Amino acid sequence: MNRKLIPFLVGSLFAATAAAAADDEFTLSGSVSIGARGTSREGGTRNGANATSATTTAPFTGPRDEAKLNEYRDVSGGAIGNIDLQGRSSQDYVRFFGENIGRDDEFLNLRGGQYGEFKYQLYQDKMPHNLSWNALTPLSGTGGTLLTGPGGVYPSTPGTNAQLENSANWKAFDYKLQRNTYAGNFEFTANSPWHVRVDYVENQMEGVRPQSSRLGTGSGNGMIEFGVPVDYKTKTYSLDTGYSTKEGSWRFSVLDSKFTNGNPLMQWTNFYMQNALDTNLLPPDNDLKRVSFNGMLRQLPLDSTLAVRFTWSKQTNNFGVTSGGLMPTSSASPPPVGGVGTLVTTPSSGTFNGDTETRTASLSYTSAWGGGVDSRIYWNYYDTLNNSTVVTYAQGFLGTGPCPGASFASTSTATQFCIGPYPNSLLSYNKQDYGIDVGWRINRGNKVSGGANLLEVDREGREDAELTKESKFWLEYKNSMLESLSGRLKYQFLRRRSDLNPAFPPGTSPFLNNTGAPNTGFTPAQVPYYYRAYDVSNNDQNQIKLVLDWTPMPLLDTGFELGLKKTDYKALYYGRTDDLRQEYNVTVSFGNPKQFRITGLANYEIVEFNQAYRNIAAGQSPTPGGTQTTTTFDWGTKNTQTNRLFGLIADWPVIERLALKGSYTWTKTGGGVDFTSGSPFTPAGQGNYNGGPLVNYVTDNTKKQTLNLKGDYKFDKRWSATLGYVHEKYDYADDQMRSYQSYYPYYQNLGGTNLSWFSGAFANPSYKLDVYYVMGTYKF
Amino acid sequence: MKRTTLLSLLSSVCAMSIALAGVFASPALAQNPPGPEVCAACHAAQAESFADSVHGQKGHPRSPANAGGCVVCHGDGTEHVKAGGGRGVGGIINPSPRNKSMPAEEKSKICLSCHSTDRHLAFWDAGQHKKNDVTCSNCHNPHTDRSLNNDKMLRVDTPAATPYRTTVRQLAYETCVACHREQRAQILKPSHHPIVEGKVQCHDCHEPHGAMTPVMLRAESYRDLCLTCHTDKRGPWIWEHRPAAENCAICHTPHGSSHNRLLAQKPPALCADCHQGGHTHGIYDGRGTIPGQNPGNIRIENSGCINCHRQIHGSNAPASAFGRFFLR
């Protein structure tokens, strides 16, 4: 596509230029910049050892990962440049901008038209999305849809399959995606209130992204991480027309967006399942159709404006329903030779017709009442109806049948493995929110505003909360009486309550005892009174925001922003109990950008939230508190996330010909999880049950420093040069990734039958980057 | 010192020019507002940028160039000229964001006198920017440099901290973060949309000129917006993850996160907010927590729950492959 688009863009540019040049007044100006870039790059390594949890052997340093420093950009060395052309006559214009030509982040944009009559645009935007490089896998064929293993026995006894166990024998590959956009549009207005516009956008994404799968029939059987091929294409066509005057406007548009995936499924060797081929289904093709209507009327009584919007959309797809999955024929773990088969759970429909229809309506009426009072009333309606095929999977078994009962999740014995039956459950919901905002400008320097909003979500197909209501009230005061100081203080209160339908579907008791079976000593209906999902749980939330802008003296500008949000979750004992978010932002700028200006930025953000849970032995009470034993006890977590930013930016036009710019930024993120446990297990502080300690750990601790220096020198009106240097350093530490960084290797052995194979994705994205560049620019 | 002298000299020449223009004003000037050529005597840079912009094109049937030039936005400058110029002198209108003596609505009215027929401004009155006294000139400067793809004449004087960028384009986010300081910090977090890299713009998701959605989204809901680009997540799926089918923002935070994939929290804590049950006693079932302890816990290591439940946005795998649990 690119090979075609570039000549087309250039050809179009010259064609447009030639046409416009027929007009005597046509002028062409612009600039061309050409230069070179040198880079020094160093990615982080994933250190590990081919080992078991009991013995560490053969330490090794894994390959470097430079993906993060290339995440959304192509920083490789070589030629760099850009071109910026602007052509114009009294009636026509054409503009072209291109940069990073031939690179992964190439950008080309051609725009033109005739003033008031029509305009057009063709553009191309390429973006790399590098996720993690030099990952390792024992599977061959990454990038394709068939990943095969080396064969041999499943190493339930360490040391029995060197090909699987020793990452020195594995293959390296990159998790990377390339997303390219090719688009164009044409708009015709003929200097009238009417407009017609057509758009075409094509997005292509290719590459390999992380995928993983559980190996056996439970989480204790381990997992494997591998690369899944990506070959996506989305083509979107739209037509937009309307009529617009000062008194009002309307607009009607239709859109069709088709997504296609070149790889509907992939297969991979499942070591646990006796090296049989397992199957992962990849995103199916889909089609989105959308129609929308906007209308607006101005100059109504009380200087009012009425705005309305209606949309209808439909997402559809269609594919054959698969029925078989790789399963063992018994509870033996790992399955013996001949102990694996394809378990078929016959679906009620051989075809799935995905069909989700959404209707929305919005209305807004704003008025100016005089005396500085204004108001807005609004209503938003959103209704999604999932008309997709209801698929019920029948019971299925491997080994000696039939299954022991009619309703269960899955069960296995020494002679059989049973699943089902399972019906799918489709979510439909309806949202409505309505409210009023009122503002009163008391005088030029004082304004008070307030508002109220009520949101209702009515769900079908979500048993834990069929109805959620949110009430929101806010009050704001703004003061700008002083020329040098202005401020804004806002308070908001939000109250959320959900109705509960405790009738859980059979076999889905959310409370399980320590054998994994439903806690039969207590009815499932009891559970929801103690536990509620975060996104629907009742809560009261208070929020404060303060913004101050102060100019204490000429050339000195300061800004301060404070945000506080505290949420208390109500009527529950388990799950998230409360959270608090604090954020502080400061900006100080001194000087005049035309002479010298230095700006300082700072940010501090901390989010803290607490969670409460309970381990329960069979027949024990699900309620919190009471006697704590080693098998029935309360436990919880305290989670923290922090973000710090400090930046300095300087602009210094030293002389008319020379301008210097520099910036330094330092960002640091941190956080972690601290545990509490009521278990009396000794030694104290251990979580017990299986004897594993609950060790506090840190997550996503990162630090990044960036130094950016740039100088522009103008030789004359036409020629100039740019010289720059950039240094970036990114450090990463995360205890959840310690598999790679200290003790465990890519290959992990948790025990006899729960082996896992990690590829190293995102394990250590640390990097160092130095960039030197020089560029010459000619303006004409 | 030389610089000061030169500026003083220029100022004197400018003042004299204005004074002479007043003394020798033609009868026509006395009746009609001064045209761009008069303004250019003192405001040469602004006159040049005006002539270079769409506003200065006489070929455009609705351009200010066909309606008197500078006076369309800045008002009749007759008294301003007579008084010898100066900031705000003679009733000259200055809609700059730094001019706090002029109400925001008055500033916007100047632009809306022509642009109110722009269909992109149909919901200006319903939007948050108008309500919060944001004016056109807070973001746009018709006298700015339009080169390097700055077609929207965005303000370019906002200092923004950025990593190394391979683009030289003027990026819209630099204008937005002048006010949206919270987002300024978020987009620099380790996991972010490619905003500072110039591959996603704030206006790809938000409609700064007004919308009827709460945060001026370009779509009717977060999910509809996200699925505009993330088309592979659209489904419909046989097995839906209900939060994903309702609101992506339950799990993801769009402006930036410390955690991979723009997650609001790190799994397994994220998942545990809704899934207390399962896996015997939840995620911390006694296998310990982090790697390096014996035994480790695969439900916490690496991606946590996502290690196995990778198809978390939805699955079409059969019951026998545990599609219901998003495993295949």
- Check pLDDT > 90 for residue A267: yes
Amino acid at A254: V
Give pLDDT, residue A758.
Answer: 84
Mean pLDDT of A267-292: 95
Looking at the complex, report in whole angstroms how far the Cα of residue A561 sits from the nearest Cα belonging to chain B.
8
Interface test with B, best of A69, A76, A534, A623 (most B CBs within 10 A): A534
- Check pLDDT > 80 for residue B270: yes
Count of CB contacts below 8 A, A vs B? Answer: 487
Burial A425-446 (b: 16+ CB within 10 A, else e): bbbbbbbebebebbbebeeeee
Interface test with A, best of B220, B270, B303, B315 (most A CBs within 10 A): B220
Mean pLDDT of B111-125: 90
pLDDT band (50, 70, 90) for residue B89: confident
Give pLDDT, residue A163.
Answer: 79
Chain B residue at shortest CA distance from A84? B148
What are the distances in angstroms from CA A293 to CA A250, A527, B115? 7, 46, 21
- Check pLDDT > 60 for residue A9: no
Distance CA B111, CA A550 (A): 27
Looking at the complex, report in whole angstroms how far the Cα of residue A432 sits from the nearest Cα belonging to chain B.
12
The verdict on a CB contact (< 8 Å) between B318 and A325 is yes
- Please check whether residue B4 touches A, CB under 8 A: no
The verdict on a CB contact (< 8 Å) between B161 and A649 is yes
Per-residue pLDDT tens over the stretch A557-597 = 999 999 999 999 986 678 889 999 999 999 999 998 888 99
- Percentage of chain A surpassing pLDDT 70? 86
Please list, in sequence order, all residues whose beta carbon lies within 8 angstroms of the beta carbon of residue A189, skipping any fewer than 6 positions away. Answer: A116, A117, A118, A195, A196
- Please check whether residue B247 touches A, CB under 8 A: yes
- Check pLDDT > 50 for residue B7: no
Give pLDDT, residue A680.
Answer: 75
> Which of B131, B159, B181 is closest, CB to CB, to A585?
B181
Distance CA A260, CA A536 (A): 34
Chain B residues closer than 8 Å to A125 by CB: 199
- Please check whether residue B66 touches A, CB under 8 A: no
Q: Do residues A658 and A713 make contact, with C-beta atoms less than 8 angstroms apart?
A: yes
- Please check whether residue B105 touches A, CB under 8 A: no
The verdict on a CB contact (< 8 Å) between A322 and B316 is yes
Give pLDDT, residue A738.
Answer: 73
Q: From the centroid of its chain, how far is CA A570?
A: 29
Of the candidate ranges A45-49, A180-184, A719-723, the one whose mean pLDDT is the lowest: A45-49
Looking at the complex, report in whole angstroms how far the Cα of residue A143 sits from the nearest Cα belonging to chain B.
18
Indicate the pairing of strand A767-779 with strand A248-261: unpaired
Q: Do residues A769 and A39 make contact, with C-beta atoms less than 8 angstroms apart?
A: yes
Output A514 or A677, whichever has higher pLDDT. A677
Give pLDDT, residue A74.
Answer: 96
Looking at the complex, report in whole angstroms how far the Cα of residue B34 sits from the nearest Cα belonging to chain A.
23
Q: What are phi and psi of A734, to 5 degrees?
A: -155, 120
Burial A275-309 (b: 16+ CB within 10 A, else e): bbebbbbbbbbbbbebebebbbebeeeeebbbbbb
Portion 284-313 of B in contact with A at CB < 8 A: 284-304, 306-308, 310-311
The verdict on a CB contact (< 8 Å) between B328 and A421 is no
Looking at the complex, report in whole angstroms how far the Cα of residue A86 sits from the nearest Cα belonging to chain B.
8
- Please check whether residue B319 touches A, CB under 8 A: yes
- Check pLDDT > 70 for residue A288: yes
pLDDT band (50, 70, 90) for residue A423: confident
Portion 7-36 of B in contact with A at CB < 8 A: none
Distance CA A569, CA A538 (A): 6
The verdict on a CB contact (< 8 Å) between A325 and B328 is yes
Mean pLDDT of A202-220: 91
Give pLDDT, residue A56.
Answer: 47
Looking at the complex, report in whole angstroms how far the Cα of residue B173 sits from the nearest Cα belonging to chain A.
16
Of the candidate ranges A113-127, A514-528, B77-91, the one whose mean pLDDT is the lowest: A514-528
- Please check whether residue B261 touches A, CB under 8 A: no
The verdict on a CB contact (< 8 Å) between A195 and B119 is yes
Looking at the complex, report in whole angstroms how far the Cα of residue A366 sits from the nearest Cα belonging to chain B.
7
The verdict on a CB contact (< 8 Å) between A700 and B242 is no
Per-residue pLDDT tens over the stretch A117-137 = 999 999 999 999 999 999 989
Chain B residues closer than 8 Å to A461 by CB: 242
> Which of A103, A284, A535 is closest, CB to CB, to B316?
A284
Indicate the pairing of strand A146-147 with strand A265-270: parallel
- Please check whether residue B122 touches A, CB under 8 A: yes
Give pLDDT, residue A420.
Answer: 79
Chain B residue at shortest CA distance from A687? B286
Give pLDDT, residue B261.
Answer: 95
The verdict on a CB contact (< 8 Å) between B233 and A89 is no
Q: Which of A159-163, B93-97, B123-127, B195-199 has the highest mean pLDDT?
A: B195-199
Amino acid at A136: L
3-class DSSP assignment, residue A544: strand
The verdict on a CB contact (< 8 Å) between B327 and A483 is no
Over chain A, what is the mean pLDDT? 87
- Percentage of chain B surpassing pLDDT 90? 39
Chain B residues closer than 8 Å to A101 by CB: none
- Check pLDDT > 80 for residue B170: yes
- Check pLDDT > 80 for residue A507: no
Strands (E), A115-222: 118-137, 146-147, 171-188, 194-214
Give pLDDT, residue A48.
Answer: 57
Per-residue pLDDT tens over the stretch A656-712 = 899 999 999 999 999 998 888 787 766 554 444 444 556 788 899 999 999 999 999
The verdict on a CB contact (< 8 Å) between A89 and B59 is yes
Looking at the complex, report in whole angstroms how far the Cα of residue A169 sits from the nearest Cα belonging to chain B.
22
- Please check whether residue B188 touches A, CB under 8 A: yes
Chain B residue at shortest CA distance from A727? B164
Give pLDDT, residue A509.
Answer: 47
Output A48 or A97, whichever has higher pLDDT. A97
Read off the pTM.
Answer: 0.90
Give pLDDT, residue A770.
Answer: 97
> Which of B133, B212, B320 is closest, CB to CB, to A362?
B212
> Which of B189, B285, B290 is closest, CB to CB, to A738?
B290
- Percentage of chain B surpassing pLDDT 70? 84
Three-state DSSP string of A438-452: EEEEEECCEEEEEEE
How many CA atoms are closer than 13 Å to the CA of B30, on its beta-carbon side?
6
Give pLDDT, residue A12.
Answer: 53
**A286 token code pair:** 């889909």
The verdict on a CB contact (< 8 Å) between B318 and A388 is no
Chain A residue at shortest CA distance from B166? A73
Per-residue pLDDT tens over the stretch A78-120 = 999 999 999 988 889 999 999 999 999 999 999 999 998 999 9
Output A409 or B319, whichever has higher pLDDT. B319
3-class DSSP assignment, residue B323: helix
Chain B residue at shortest CA distance from A99? B167
pLDDT band (50, 70, 90) for residue B17: very low
Chain A residues closer than 8 Å to B155 by CB: none
Chain A residue at shortest CA distance from B275? A533
Sheet holding A416-419, edge to edge: A396-399, A416-419, A410-412
The verdict on a CB contact (< 8 Å) between A735 and B290 is yes
Looking at the complex, report in whole angstroms how far the Cα of residue A332 sits from the nearest Cα belonging to chain B.
18
Chain B residues closer than 8 Å to A466 by CB: none
pLDDT band (50, 70, 90) for residue A194: very high
**A628 token code pair:** 């704590």
Interface test with B, best of A131, A181, A213, A279 (most B CBs within 10 A): A213
- Check pLDDT > 90 for residue A3: no
